[in-house]
Structure 1
Amino acid sequence: PFAPGNAFPADEVAQEKLAFDKAFIGSCTNGGYDDLLEAALVIRAGRERGFEKAPRTFVIFPGSGGVKRDIEHPEPRLNGESIADVLRSVGAEIRASWCGPCFGQGPDALKKGEIAITSFNRNWQNRMGVGGLGYLASPAVVASSALLGYMAGPAALGIEWNPERFDVSV
């Protein structure tokens, strides 16, 4: 936390099994259609491997009203399921497009001692809520972490994953 430059590969972080309270995908950064599709592909592959419910709070903030509308439509790369349906199938809640928890506002803001893994783009001290800690990750890593209940990339779900070029092999 506290600086986007404090980065580590997801496979290294997975070894620590760092727990969190909330998983967030979206907002203005990483809330586009392709970002949410990436997360849905990970969720779908995880479901096929027996990971059926996110054990922690899992919230999606589409990057715009248009994206929120578009993710409700069938997606061929998800065998006709919509992105929204795939995300909801594991307990994700899809909220309105807004910045709230990214800057510590609204019901999803972190409380003292809470930890989030998030695809938001900033995590300096108290940014997401006074006394909260935000760990930054890609939508794919947040999605896999949401299913596992600890911070880890899709490889921890048994998914072949290349973070340099997203491709989920089912």
Structure 2
Amino acid sequence: MPPPRKVDLLPAELKFWLQEELRSRGFGGYEDLAEALNFRLEKAGSELRIRKSALHAFGQEYEEFVKYQEQASAWAADWMQEQGLAEEAKRHNVLFQMITTLAFKVMQAQMIKEGGEIDPKELHFLGRMLKDVMASSGIRESLIVAERKAQAAKLDEAVEAGDIDKEAAAKARRIMGFGE
């Protein structure tokens, strides 16, 4: 197993600072960033020093993570909005965003592997995790209720249009399990 990257050895507060700096600098200016980070490390009494190339590698990885996080957030917000779940989305957005970001990260890691290297367990756990989040947040139940309402409205429209009679619509409601 390779040794940990120097960036991974940073104390949490410096790693957070580094991430904020990367964003504010537009994921550029690595020479100045290395100088500023190493100054902070020296000031903190650490002997750890990080070169521009290591920061650049970390910066590219972090930039991609931020991109995936933004894409996941936008996707989740759009999907929930399309489903008419705006209030639910507000309550569960943080959890869903975190899980979706993690899912993108896992999928990204799996995509660079060859067929035989892909661990089916990881994909199974990813799918299970997403399913559990959706189920626990009530999204699934809300979707079912919305779908049943849409089906009932279609039956009502069909009765009004004369395509089916009331008795057939009532029978269809009973068969689909949502009564009259």
Q: Specify the TM-score bucket, using the shorter chain as the normaliser.
A: under 0.3
More strand by share: 1
Query: Which has the larger helix fraction?
Result: 2
Q: TM-score, normalised by structure 1?
A: 0.22
Which protein has the larger Cα radius of gyration, Structure 1 or Structure 2? 2
